[in-house]
Structure 1
Protein backbone atom coordinates (compact mmCIF):
# COMPACT_ATOMS: atom_id res chain seq x y z
CA UNK A 1 0.00 0.00 0.00
CA UNK A 2 1.15 3.54 -0.77
CA UNK A 3 2.36 5.55 2.21
CA UNK A 4 2.16 9.32 1.79
CA UNK A 5 4.54 11.30 3.97
CA UNK A 6 2.40 14.38 4.30
CA UNK A 7 3.35 17.74 5.78
CA UNK A 8 0.64 19.94 7.24
CA UNK A 9 -0.28 23.10 5.32
CA UNK A 10 1.63 22.07 2.23
CA UNK A 11 1.45 21.24 -1.43
CA UNK A 12 1.48 17.53 -0.62
CA UNK A 13 -2.28 17.83 -0.19
CA UNK A 14 -2.47 17.38 -3.97
CA UNK A 15 -1.10 13.83 -3.76
CA UNK A 16 -3.87 12.83 -1.34
CA UNK A 17 -6.45 14.36 -3.66
CA UNK A 18 -5.09 12.49 -6.69
CA UNK A 19 -5.24 9.19 -4.80
CA UNK A 20 -8.79 9.92 -3.66
CA UNK A 21 -9.89 10.70 -7.23
CA UNK A 22 -8.45 7.37 -8.38
CA UNK A 23 -9.87 5.42 -5.44
CA UNK A 24 -6.42 4.12 -4.46
CA UNK A 25 -5.94 2.84 -0.91
CA UNK A 26 -3.18 4.62 0.97
CA UNK A 27 -1.88 5.44 4.42
CA UNK A 28 -0.93 8.91 5.58
CA UNK A 29 2.00 9.67 7.85
CA UNK A 30 1.55 13.26 9.01
CA UNK A 31 4.31 15.68 9.94
CA UNK A 32 4.02 19.04 11.67
CA UNK A 33 6.07 22.06 10.72
CA UNK A 34 8.68 23.43 13.08
CA UNK A 35 6.89 26.03 15.23
CA UNK A 36 9.74 28.55 14.96
CA UNK A 37 10.94 28.16 11.37
CA UNK A 38 7.76 26.80 9.74
CA UNK A 39 10.02 24.33 7.91
CA UNK A 40 9.54 20.58 7.58
CA UNK A 41 10.84 18.57 10.55
CA UNK A 42 14.15 16.71 10.46
CA UNK A 43 12.23 13.42 10.66
CA UNK A 44 11.51 13.68 6.93
CA UNK A 45 15.24 13.34 6.18
CA UNK A 46 14.98 9.76 7.39
CA UNK A 47 12.51 9.14 4.56
CA UNK A 48 14.30 11.07 1.79
CA UNK A 49 17.65 12.93 1.91
CA UNK A 50 16.07 16.25 0.89
CA UNK A 51 13.81 16.18 3.94
CA UNK A 52 10.83 17.60 2.10
CA UNK A 53 7.20 16.63 1.57
CA UNK A 54 5.48 15.10 -0.28
CA UNK A 55 7.25 11.79 -0.48
CA UNK A 56 5.57 8.46 -1.14
CA UNK A 57 6.67 4.92 -0.43
CA UNK A 58 5.39 1.96 -2.40
CA UNK A 59 6.64 -1.59 -2.94
CA UNK A 60 9.98 -0.79 -1.35
CA UNK A 61 10.59 2.36 -3.40
CA UNK A 62 10.72 5.97 -2.23
CA UNK A 63 9.53 8.66 -4.63
CA UNK A 64 9.85 12.45 -4.38
CA UNK A 65 8.98 15.48 -6.56
CA UNK A 66 5.26 16.04 -7.00
CA UNK A 67 5.10 15.85 -10.79
CA UNK A 68 7.15 12.66 -10.83
CA UNK A 69 4.91 11.15 -8.15
CA UNK A 70 1.84 12.03 -10.17
CA UNK A 71 3.30 10.27 -13.20
CA UNK A 72 4.20 7.23 -11.10
CA UNK A 73 0.71 7.01 -9.62
CA UNK A 74 -0.98 7.46 -13.00
CA UNK A 75 1.30 4.83 -14.61
CA UNK A 76 0.60 2.24 -11.90
CA UNK A 77 -2.95 3.01 -10.80
CA UNK A 78 -4.53 5.33 -13.36
CA UNK A 79 -5.87 2.79 -15.88
CA UNK A 80 -6.24 5.64 -18.34
CA UNK A 81 -8.05 7.90 -15.90
CA UNK A 82 -7.16 11.55 -15.23
CA UNK A 83 -4.73 11.68 -18.16
CA UNK A 84 -5.66 12.25 -21.82
CA UNK A 85 -4.72 9.68 -24.43
CA UNK A 86 -1.21 9.92 -25.83
CA UNK A 87 -0.93 11.50 -29.24
CA UNK A 88 -3.73 13.98 -28.59
CA UNK A 89 -3.56 17.73 -28.19
CA UNK A 90 -5.06 17.32 -24.73
CA UNK A 91 -2.16 15.04 -23.74
CA UNK A 92 0.39 17.67 -24.74
CA UNK A 93 -1.49 20.30 -22.74
CA UNK A 94 -1.59 17.91 -19.81
CA UNK A 95 2.15 17.36 -19.99
CA UNK A 96 2.80 21.11 -20.12
CA UNK A 97 0.68 21.94 -17.07
CA UNK A 98 2.09 19.03 -15.08
CA UNK A 99 5.53 20.65 -15.39
CA UNK A 100 4.36 24.28 -15.23
CA UNK A 101 2.89 23.88 -11.74
CA UNK A 102 6.25 23.57 -10.00
CA UNK A 103 8.51 24.85 -12.78
CA UNK A 104 6.86 28.19 -13.61
CA UNK A 105 4.13 28.99 -11.09
CA UNK A 106 5.43 28.01 -7.67
CA UNK A 107 8.91 29.65 -7.65
CA UNK A 108 7.63 33.27 -7.83
CA UNK A 109 4.84 32.43 -5.38
CA UNK A 110 7.35 31.05 -2.87
CA UNK A 111 9.50 34.14 -3.41
CA UNK A 112 6.47 36.31 -2.64
CA UNK A 113 5.88 34.39 0.57
CA UNK A 114 9.50 34.88 1.64
CA UNK A 115 9.35 38.60 0.89
CA UNK A 116 6.16 38.93 2.92
CA UNK A 117 7.98 37.34 5.86
CA UNK A 118 10.95 39.61 5.31
CA UNK A 119 8.74 42.69 5.59
CA UNK A 120 7.31 41.61 8.93
CA UNK A 121 10.39 40.00 10.46
CA UNK A 122 11.86 41.57 13.63
CA UNK A 123 14.73 43.91 12.78
CA UNK A 124 16.34 47.16 14.00
CA UNK A 125 14.16 50.18 13.24
CA UNK A 126 16.80 51.71 10.97
CA UNK A 127 16.91 48.56 8.82
CA UNK A 128 13.15 48.37 8.16
CA UNK A 129 13.04 51.16 5.50
CA UNK A 130 15.92 49.48 3.67
CA UNK A 131 14.16 46.09 3.78
CA UNK A 132 10.94 47.64 2.51
CA UNK A 133 12.74 49.31 -0.40
CA UNK A 134 14.42 46.04 -1.32
CA UNK A 135 11.15 44.13 -1.20
CA UNK A 136 9.37 46.80 -3.24
CA UNK A 137 12.13 46.74 -5.82
CA UNK A 138 11.83 42.98 -6.30
CA UNK A 139 8.05 43.17 -6.49
CA UNK A 140 7.96 46.08 -8.92
CA UNK A 141 10.85 44.87 -11.03
CA UNK A 142 9.99 41.20 -11.28
CA UNK A 143 7.28 39.53 -9.19
CA UNK A 144 4.21 41.60 -10.04
CA UNK A 145 4.74 41.51 -13.79
CA UNK A 146 5.70 37.84 -13.72
CA UNK A 147 2.56 36.94 -11.78
CA UNK A 148 0.39 38.88 -14.20
CA UNK A 149 1.82 37.12 -17.24
CA UNK A 150 1.49 33.69 -15.61
CA UNK A 151 -2.05 34.07 -14.36
CA UNK A 152 -3.29 35.87 -17.46
CA UNK A 153 -2.06 32.86 -19.41
CA UNK A 154 -3.72 30.44 -16.98
CA UNK A 155 -6.98 32.39 -17.13
CA UNK A 156 -6.99 32.14 -20.92
CA UNK A 157 -6.13 28.42 -20.83
CA UNK A 158 -9.21 27.75 -18.71
CA UNK A 159 -11.52 29.73 -20.97
CA UNK A 160 -12.45 26.87 -23.32
CA UNK A 161 -13.71 24.18 -20.93
CA UNK A 162 -12.84 25.31 -17.41
CA UNK A 163 -10.16 22.60 -17.26
CA UNK A 164 -6.59 22.65 -18.51
CA UNK A 165 -6.37 19.54 -20.68
CA UNK A 166 -9.67 18.65 -22.27
CA UNK A 167 -13.33 18.61 -21.32
CA UNK A 168 -12.93 17.19 -17.82
CA UNK A 169 -10.62 17.33 -14.86
CA UNK A 170 -7.20 15.67 -15.19
CA UNK A 171 -4.17 15.22 -12.97
CA UNK A 172 -2.80 18.45 -14.46
CA UNK A 173 -5.66 20.38 -12.86
CA UNK A 174 -4.93 18.67 -9.55
CA UNK A 175 -1.24 19.55 -9.77
CA UNK A 176 -2.08 23.15 -10.68
CA UNK A 177 -4.64 23.41 -7.88
CA UNK A 178 -2.21 24.79 -5.31
CA UNK A 179 -1.04 27.72 -7.47
CA UNK A 180 -4.67 28.48 -8.31
CA UNK A 181 -5.84 28.28 -4.70
CA UNK A 182 -2.93 30.35 -3.42
CA UNK A 183 -3.53 32.98 -6.09
CA UNK A 184 -7.26 33.13 -5.33
CA UNK A 185 -6.60 33.35 -1.58
CA UNK A 186 -4.39 36.41 -1.93
CA UNK A 187 -7.23 38.80 -2.73
CA UNK A 188 -9.67 39.98 -5.37
CA UNK A 189 -9.81 37.65 -8.38
CA UNK A 190 -12.68 39.42 -10.14
CA UNK A 191 -10.40 39.95 -13.13
CA UNK A 192 -9.83 36.18 -13.28
CA UNK A 193 -13.32 34.61 -13.35
CA UNK A 194 -12.15 31.36 -14.95
CA UNK A 195 -9.58 30.72 -12.23
CA UNK A 196 -12.12 31.60 -9.52
CA UNK A 197 -14.73 29.30 -11.05
CA UNK A 198 -12.32 26.39 -11.45
CA UNK A 199 -11.18 26.68 -7.83
CA UNK A 200 -14.79 26.75 -6.64
CA UNK A 201 -15.66 23.67 -8.68
CA UNK A 202 -12.74 21.51 -7.65
CA UNK A 203 -13.02 22.45 -3.98
CA UNK A 204 -16.55 21.06 -4.06
CA UNK A 205 -15.49 17.66 -5.42
CA UNK A 206 -16.06 14.79 -2.96
CA UNK A 207 -12.52 13.45 -3.52
CA UNK A 208 -11.03 16.86 -2.71
CA UNK A 209 -13.05 17.03 0.51
CA UNK A 210 -12.06 13.49 1.50
CA UNK A 211 -8.40 14.38 0.93
CA UNK A 212 -8.73 17.36 3.28
CA UNK A 213 -10.21 15.08 5.92
CA UNK A 214 -7.30 12.65 5.57
CA UNK A 215 -4.58 15.29 5.39
CA UNK A 216 -5.48 17.56 8.28
CA UNK A 217 -4.54 21.27 8.51
CA UNK A 218 -4.26 22.97 5.14
CA UNK A 219 -3.57 26.71 5.19
CA UNK A 220 -2.77 28.37 1.89
CA UNK A 221 0.28 30.54 1.37
CA UNK A 222 -0.43 34.26 1.47
Structure 2
Protein backbone atom coordinates (compact mmCIF):
# COMPACT_ATOMS: atom_id res chain seq x y z
CA UNK A 1 0.00 0.00 0.00
CA UNK A 2 1.30 3.44 -0.91
CA UNK A 3 1.36 5.92 1.97
CA UNK A 4 1.42 9.69 1.56
CA UNK A 5 2.63 11.81 4.46
CA UNK A 6 0.45 14.83 3.77
CA UNK A 7 0.83 18.30 5.26
CA UNK A 8 -2.17 20.59 5.01
CA UNK A 9 -1.82 23.57 2.62
CA UNK A 10 1.22 22.02 0.98
CA UNK A 11 2.72 20.72 -2.23
CA UNK A 12 1.78 17.18 -1.25
CA UNK A 13 -1.59 17.91 -2.84
CA UNK A 14 0.16 17.17 -6.14
CA UNK A 15 0.97 13.63 -5.05
CA UNK A 16 -2.65 12.98 -4.10
CA UNK A 17 -3.77 14.24 -7.51
CA UNK A 18 -1.27 11.96 -9.28
CA UNK A 19 -2.42 8.94 -7.29
CA UNK A 20 -6.05 9.72 -8.09
CA UNK A 21 -5.27 10.10 -11.80
CA UNK A 22 -3.51 6.72 -11.76
CA UNK A 23 -6.37 5.22 -9.73
CA UNK A 24 -3.94 3.74 -7.24
CA UNK A 25 -4.95 2.71 -3.72
CA UNK A 26 -3.19 4.69 -1.02
CA UNK A 27 -3.47 5.82 2.58
CA UNK A 28 -2.79 9.24 4.06
CA UNK A 29 -0.98 10.15 7.25
CA UNK A 30 -2.02 13.74 7.99
CA UNK A 31 -0.03 16.53 9.59
CA UNK A 32 -1.08 20.06 10.51
CA UNK A 33 1.15 23.10 10.20
CA UNK A 34 2.35 24.85 13.34
CA UNK A 35 1.10 28.40 14.06
CA UNK A 36 4.35 29.56 12.41
CA UNK A 37 3.17 27.75 9.22
CA UNK A 38 6.14 25.39 9.50
CA UNK A 39 5.72 21.63 9.37
CA UNK A 40 5.52 19.80 12.71
CA UNK A 41 8.54 18.03 14.15
CA UNK A 42 6.75 14.70 13.68
CA UNK A 43 7.60 14.76 9.98
CA UNK A 44 11.30 14.43 10.85
CA UNK A 45 10.55 10.94 12.11
CA UNK A 46 9.58 10.05 8.54
CA UNK A 47 12.30 11.95 6.66
CA UNK A 48 15.27 13.86 8.16
CA UNK A 49 14.34 17.13 6.43
CA UNK A 50 10.89 17.13 8.01
CA UNK A 51 9.15 18.28 4.85
CA UNK A 52 6.11 17.14 2.91
CA UNK A 53 5.32 15.37 0.67
CA UNK A 54 6.88 12.05 1.56
CA UNK A 55 5.84 8.83 -0.15
CA UNK A 56 6.27 5.35 1.31
CA UNK A 57 6.17 2.37 -1.04
CA UNK A 58 7.00 -1.08 0.26
CA UNK A 59 9.51 0.24 2.79
CA UNK A 60 11.06 2.84 0.50
CA UNK A 61 10.90 6.48 1.63
CA UNK A 62 10.93 9.11 -1.10
CA UNK A 63 10.74 12.90 -0.71
CA UNK A 64 10.60 15.84 -3.18
CA UNK A 65 7.48 16.32 -5.29
CA UNK A 66 9.20 16.00 -8.66
CA UNK A 67 11.04 12.84 -7.68
CA UNK A 68 7.83 11.31 -6.31
CA UNK A 69 5.84 12.14 -9.45
CA UNK A 70 8.54 10.73 -11.74
CA UNK A 71 8.73 7.60 -9.58
CA UNK A 72 4.97 7.09 -9.73
CA UNK A 73 4.93 7.55 -13.50
CA UNK A 74 7.86 5.20 -14.08
CA UNK A 75 6.75 2.55 -11.56
CA UNK A 76 2.95 2.69 -11.38
CA UNK A 77 1.88 3.99 -14.79
CA UNK A 78 2.30 1.01 -17.14
CA UNK A 79 -0.03 2.54 -19.70
CA UNK A 80 2.11 5.72 -19.88
CA UNK A 81 -1.02 7.80 -19.30
CA UNK A 82 0.87 10.63 -17.58
CA UNK A 83 3.95 10.83 -19.80
CA UNK A 84 3.93 12.15 -23.37
CA UNK A 85 5.00 9.86 -26.19
CA UNK A 86 6.37 12.25 -28.83
CA UNK A 87 10.00 13.45 -28.50
CA UNK A 88 8.95 17.12 -28.59
CA UNK A 89 6.36 16.68 -25.87
CA UNK A 90 8.79 14.66 -23.75
CA UNK A 91 11.26 17.55 -23.90
CA UNK A 92 8.58 19.94 -22.67
CA UNK A 93 7.57 17.39 -20.04
CA UNK A 94 11.09 17.28 -18.63
CA UNK A 95 11.44 21.06 -18.73
CA UNK A 96 8.24 21.89 -16.81
CA UNK A 97 8.87 19.15 -14.25
CA UNK A 98 12.08 20.95 -13.30
CA UNK A 99 10.98 24.54 -13.92
CA UNK A 100 8.18 24.33 -11.33
CA UNK A 101 10.50 24.01 -8.34
CA UNK A 102 13.74 25.22 -9.89
CA UNK A 103 12.60 28.59 -11.27
CA UNK A 104 9.05 29.57 -10.34
CA UNK A 105 8.54 28.30 -6.81
CA UNK A 106 11.58 30.05 -5.25
CA UNK A 107 10.25 33.44 -6.35
CA UNK A 108 6.79 32.70 -4.99
CA UNK A 109 8.33 31.63 -1.70
CA UNK A 110 10.38 34.84 -1.64
CA UNK A 111 7.18 36.83 -2.16
CA UNK A 112 5.57 35.03 0.77
CA UNK A 113 8.58 35.71 3.02
CA UNK A 114 8.73 39.39 2.07
CA UNK A 115 5.07 39.79 3.02
CA UNK A 116 5.78 38.47 6.52
CA UNK A 117 8.46 41.07 7.34
CA UNK A 118 5.88 43.41 8.84
CA UNK A 119 4.25 40.75 11.00
CA UNK A 120 5.13 38.56 14.01
CA UNK A 121 7.55 36.99 14.80
CA UNK A 122 9.43 40.05 13.52
CA UNK A 123 9.97 42.27 16.63
CA UNK A 124 7.33 44.97 16.94
CA UNK A 125 9.78 47.84 16.58
CA UNK A 126 11.11 46.49 13.30
CA UNK A 127 7.81 45.62 11.62
CA UNK A 128 7.23 48.96 9.92
CA UNK A 129 10.77 48.89 8.52
CA UNK A 130 10.36 45.25 7.53
CA UNK A 131 7.11 45.97 5.75
CA UNK A 132 8.64 48.84 3.79
CA UNK A 133 11.66 46.71 2.92
CA UNK A 134 9.48 43.86 1.68
CA UNK A 135 7.32 46.17 -0.39
CA UNK A 136 10.40 47.81 -1.86
CA UNK A 137 11.97 44.53 -2.94
CA UNK A 138 8.68 43.36 -4.41
CA UNK A 139 8.20 46.55 -6.40
CA UNK A 140 11.79 46.98 -7.56
CA UNK A 141 12.60 43.38 -8.42
CA UNK A 142 10.31 40.52 -7.58
CA UNK A 143 7.05 41.62 -9.21
CA UNK A 144 8.88 42.32 -12.46
CA UNK A 145 10.44 38.87 -12.43
CA UNK A 146 7.12 37.20 -11.69
CA UNK A 147 5.46 39.15 -14.49
CA UNK A 148 8.11 37.87 -16.90
CA UNK A 149 7.51 34.29 -15.80
CA UNK A 150 3.74 34.72 -15.94
CA UNK A 151 4.00 35.98 -19.53
CA UNK A 152 6.28 33.05 -20.39
CA UNK A 153 3.80 30.52 -19.00
CA UNK A 154 0.89 32.30 -20.67
CA UNK A 155 2.64 32.22 -24.03
CA UNK A 156 3.32 28.50 -23.72
CA UNK A 157 -0.27 27.69 -22.83
CA UNK A 158 -1.50 29.82 -25.70
CA UNK A 159 0.06 27.17 -27.94
CA UNK A 160 -0.61 24.06 -25.83
CA UNK A 161 -3.68 22.78 -24.00
CA UNK A 162 -1.44 21.25 -21.34
CA UNK A 163 2.14 21.89 -20.30
CA UNK A 164 3.52 18.99 -22.34
CA UNK A 165 1.28 18.90 -25.38
CA UNK A 166 -2.37 18.07 -25.84
CA UNK A 167 -2.79 15.69 -22.93
CA UNK A 168 -2.46 15.90 -19.17
CA UNK A 169 0.88 14.69 -17.84
CA UNK A 170 2.92 14.73 -14.66
CA UNK A 171 4.24 18.10 -15.87
CA UNK A 172 0.80 19.61 -15.25
CA UNK A 173 0.58 17.98 -11.86
CA UNK A 174 4.01 19.35 -10.90
CA UNK A 175 3.13 22.81 -12.21
CA UNK A 176 -0.24 22.90 -10.45
CA UNK A 177 0.99 24.18 -7.10
CA UNK A 178 3.15 27.11 -8.31
CA UNK A 179 0.70 27.99 -11.09
CA UNK A 180 -2.25 28.13 -8.69
CA UNK A 181 -0.10 30.11 -6.23
CA UNK A 182 0.89 32.57 -8.96
CA UNK A 183 -2.76 33.21 -9.76
CA UNK A 184 -3.75 33.40 -6.08
CA UNK A 185 -1.10 36.00 -5.26
CA UNK A 186 -2.15 38.11 -8.21
CA UNK A 187 -0.65 41.24 -9.65
CA UNK A 188 0.53 39.58 -12.83
CA UNK A 189 -2.02 40.99 -15.27
CA UNK A 190 -4.44 39.12 -17.47
CA UNK A 191 -3.61 35.44 -17.96
CA UNK A 192 -6.55 33.95 -19.88
CA UNK A 193 -4.72 30.84 -21.08
CA UNK A 194 -3.38 30.03 -17.64
CA UNK A 195 -6.86 30.57 -16.21
CA UNK A 196 -8.32 28.25 -18.87
CA UNK A 197 -5.74 25.60 -17.96
CA UNK A 198 -6.67 26.01 -14.28
CA UNK A 199 -10.33 25.43 -15.12
CA UNK A 200 -9.45 22.29 -17.09
CA UNK A 201 -7.59 21.03 -14.04
CA UNK A 202 -10.42 21.81 -11.62
CA UNK A 203 -13.08 19.92 -13.58
CA UNK A 204 -11.08 16.70 -13.61
CA UNK A 205 -12.68 14.11 -11.31
CA UNK A 206 -9.25 13.03 -10.04
CA UNK A 207 -8.44 16.61 -9.01
CA UNK A 208 -11.74 16.89 -7.19
CA UNK A 209 -11.15 13.62 -5.36
CA UNK A 210 -7.66 14.79 -4.36
CA UNK A 211 -9.10 18.01 -2.92
CA UNK A 212 -11.64 15.96 -0.96
CA UNK A 213 -8.81 13.84 0.42
CA UNK A 214 -6.27 16.56 1.09
CA UNK A 215 -8.36 19.62 1.83
CA UNK A 216 -8.66 23.00 0.07
CA UNK A 217 -5.63 24.30 -1.76
CA UNK A 218 -5.20 27.72 -0.15
CA UNK A 219 -2.04 29.80 -0.20
CA UNK A 220 -0.71 31.62 2.87
CA UNK A 221 0.02 35.25 2.17
CA UNK A 222 -2.16 35.43 -0.94
- With the shorter chain as reference, the TM-score category is over 0.9
Which whole-Å CA distance do the structure 1 matches of 2:66 and 2:203 have between them? 23
Shift of 1:136: 2.5
**Paired residue for 1:111?**
110
Q: What's the secondary structure of 1:196's corresponding residue?
A: helix
The residue that corresponds to 1:76 in the other structure is: 75
Shift of residue 73, structure 1, vs aligned partner: 0.4
Deviating more after overlay: 5-14 vs 136-145: 136-145
Partners of 2:94 and 2:124 lie apart in 1 by 47
TM-fit CA distance, 1:124: 3.3
Question: Are the equivalent residues in 1 in contact too, given 2:107–2:146 (CA < 8 A)?
Answer: yes
Question: TM-score, structure 2 length as denominator?
Answer: 0.93
1:9-42 alpha-carbon deviations (Å, 9 max, x no partner): 11110000011001111111110111x2111110
In structure 2, stretches of 5+ residues that fail to align are none
Unaligned runs of 5+ in 1: none
Q: Tell me the residue number matched to 1:14.
A: 14
Contact 2:97/2:171, CA 8 A, preserved across alignment = yes
Number of aligned residue pairs: 219
Indicate the residue corresponding to 1:28 in structure 2: 28
Structure 1 residues 195-204 or 178-187, which shifts more? Answer: 178-187
Contact persistence 1:189–1:196 (CA under 8 A): no
Q: Map residues 121-140 of structure 1 onto 2, 5 A cutoff.
A: 121=120, 123-125=123-125, 127-140=126-139
Contact 2:7 2:53 in 1 (8 A): yes
Separation in 1 of the partners of 2:18 and 2:49? Answer: 23
